[in-house]
């Protein structure tokens, strides 16, 4: 009976509440390295809106294939990247988690809609063309990194 209860609770917790994700690639370095096992709180955005600075899991193909990216832009804001520096409504964003950035990262003004967020990885030393970033609709944000 105990074993069945443990299995049932594990299926619920690790299937719908705490989603285990193995990181892949270098886009979130040095914050997270490739191959790390992290947990996503899938309930985080049910009761609270995503916040700037959150590391969020972004749904690509269901909950089995996700990106981990940092939220830098919130709904209604204007985001620009100039010489590797993120500007929010024209003001530089303090990003202490970015250790390396190259000056050739440039993204023109991007206005976010009422349910859109701007996400980008912490590793700004890699070429911009190799990095997945940009607008993400709120329904694709499936949760927040637990720790």
pLDDT at position 34 over 70: yes
Please, what's the largest Cα pairwise distance for the chain? 60
Residue 111 pLDDT class (50, 70, 90 cuts): very high
**Model pLDDT, residue 23:** 86
Q: What is the 3-state secondary structure (H, E, C) of 12-74?
A: HHHHHHEEEEECCCCCCCCCCCCCCEEEEECCHHHHCCCCCCCEEEEEEECCCEEEEEEEEEC
Q: Which of 129, 122, 89 is nearest to 106 (CA)?
A: 129
pLDDT at position 118 over 90: yes
CATH numbers and ranges of domains, the chain: 2-145 (2.10.109.10)
pLDDT at position 110 over 90: yes
**Model pLDDT, residue 89:** 98
Q: What are phi and psi of 41, to 5 degrees?
A: -85, 100
pTM of the predicted structure, to 2 decimals:
0.87
**Model pLDDT, residue 24:** 85
Per-residue pLDDT tens for 42-83? 889 988 999 999 999 998 876 667 889 999 999 999 999 999
């Amino acid at each position: 009976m105990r074993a069945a209860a443990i299995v049932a609770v594990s299926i619920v917790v690790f299937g719908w509440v705490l989603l285990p994700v193995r990181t892949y690639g270098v886009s979130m370095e040095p914050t997270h390295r490739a191959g790390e096992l992290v947990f996503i709180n899938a309930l985080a955005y049910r009761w609270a809106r995503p916040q700037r600075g959150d590391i969020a899991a972004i749904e690509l193909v269901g909950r089995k294939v996700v990106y981990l990216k940092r939220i830098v832009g919130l709904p209604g804001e204007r985001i620009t990247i100039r010489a590797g520096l993120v500007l929010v409504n024209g003001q530089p964003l303090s990003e202490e988690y970015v250790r390396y950035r190259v000056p050739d990262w440039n993204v023109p003004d991007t206005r976010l809609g009422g349910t859109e967020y701007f996400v980008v990885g912490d590793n700004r030393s890699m070429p911009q063309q190799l990095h997945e970033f940009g607008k993400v609709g709120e329904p694709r944000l499936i949760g927040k990194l637990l720790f």
